[in-house]
Amino acid sequence: MDGLQAKFESVEDKTLRRKMARQAARSVLPNATETKIFVTANARALRHFIELRCNEHAETEIRMVAQQVLEIMQREAPNIFGDYEFVSLPDGTKAAQTPHGKI
């Protein structure tokens, strides 16, 4: 953990630096193995998931999953998910924003 925290020493916020180090550690531990899942959800639940997990405060891995879900839903149901826009983040990933949150 100390080595990973040193890697993120340029991050000023101590809490954010600790969270980033823990996230990096999780990605190399055995629980970061591939898992296949099957999910069912309605549009409201998907929008809620996207708003929570495709924003800048979510961990990188789940943000990437939420981004892929949103891209699929924008193709399949543009009337419901077309209001989301992707914004680039400093770490090279993207987050989604909408003016119509919490429907």
Q: Is 47 a known active-site residue?
A: no
CA–CA dist 54, 62 (Å, integer): 7
Look up residue 97 and give its two tokens.
């924003």
Asked if residue 56 lies in contact with residue 72, where contact means CB atoms within 8 angstroms, the answer is: no
Residue type for 69, please?
V
Catalytic choice (17, 47, 53, 63)? 53
Asked if residue 39 lies in contact with residue 81, where contact means CB atoms within 8 angstroms, the answer is: no
SS3 46: helix
Catalytic residues: 53
